[in-house]
């Protein structure tokens, strides 16, 4: 599968850019899935739900199914976090998988950047950053710079990069 990432520091606009890219690229007729990395114990289930109770009882995996969606939760139970490549094998085939986060993974990515965060650009230090999407006009970069709100042009760039 073709994969491309959106990375950046906290509050840089990654999630908003991801959401807008999914809308733009699926609107062009491509099938898109996403992977979101979190640095903390993200809880997608809630206390009192049947599935939560199954996990609390010790189930390694809980699959929740309904007429409109299904979700599989896998508890690591003290095992290490699996590599991104292993997680990608869990997805059904699509035209493009957009990955949010995973700064240090080698896949190509666009860096979301907001000047007001005061954080340095990753692009100068991370060779997998192939472009920057910013609300400012950073200079001296060897990669293309797009305005953070120019989602159509960013989507064009990503689709060209992955050969779609």
Is pLDDT of 18 > 80? Answer: yes
pLDDT at 46: 85
pLDDT at 118: 93
pLDDT at 45: 84
Q: What's the rounded Cα separation, in Å, for the pair 109 and 100? A: 9
pLDDT at 110: 98
pTM (whole model) above 0.95 = no
Q: What's the rounded Cα separation, in Å, for the pair 116 and 77? A: 39
pLDDT at 8: 96
Confidence of residue 70 (pLDDT cuts 50, 70, 90): very high
CA angle 63, 64, 69 (to 5 degrees): 120
**Percent of the chain with pLDDT strictly greater than 90:** 87
Is pLDDT of 42 > 90? Answer: no
> In 10 A of CB 25, how many CB atoms?
23
CA 60, chain centre distance (Å): 25
pLDDT at 150: 98
Q: What's the rounded Cα separation, in Å, for the pair 50 and 59? A: 12
Confidence of residue 38 (pLDDT cuts 50, 70, 90): confident
Instruction: Give the residue-averaged pLDDT of 65-85.
Output: 92
- Segment holding 2, helix H or strand E: strand 2-7
Instruction: Give the residue-averaged pLDDT of 102-117.
Output: 96
């Amino acid at each position: 599968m073709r994969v491309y990432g959106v990375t950046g520091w906290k509050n840089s606009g990654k999630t908003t850019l991801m959401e807008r890219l999914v809308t733009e690229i699926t609107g062009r007729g491509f099938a898109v899935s996403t992977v979101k990395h979190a640095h903390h114990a993200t809880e997608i289930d809630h206390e009192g739900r049947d599935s939560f109770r199954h996990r609390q009882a010790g189930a390694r995996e809980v699959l929740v199914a309904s007429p409109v969606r299904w979700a599989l939760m896998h508890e690591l139970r003290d095992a290490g976090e699996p590599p991104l490549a292993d997680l990608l094998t869990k997805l059904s085939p699509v035209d493009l998988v957009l990955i949010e986060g995973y700064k240090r993974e080698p896949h190509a990515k666009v860096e979301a950047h907001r000047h007001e965060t005061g954080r340095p650009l990753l692009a100068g230090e991370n060779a997998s950053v192939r472009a920057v999407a910013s609300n400012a006009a950073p200079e001296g970069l060897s990669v293309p710079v797009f305005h953070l709100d120019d989602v159509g042009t960013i989507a064009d760039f990503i689709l060209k990069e992955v050969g779609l």
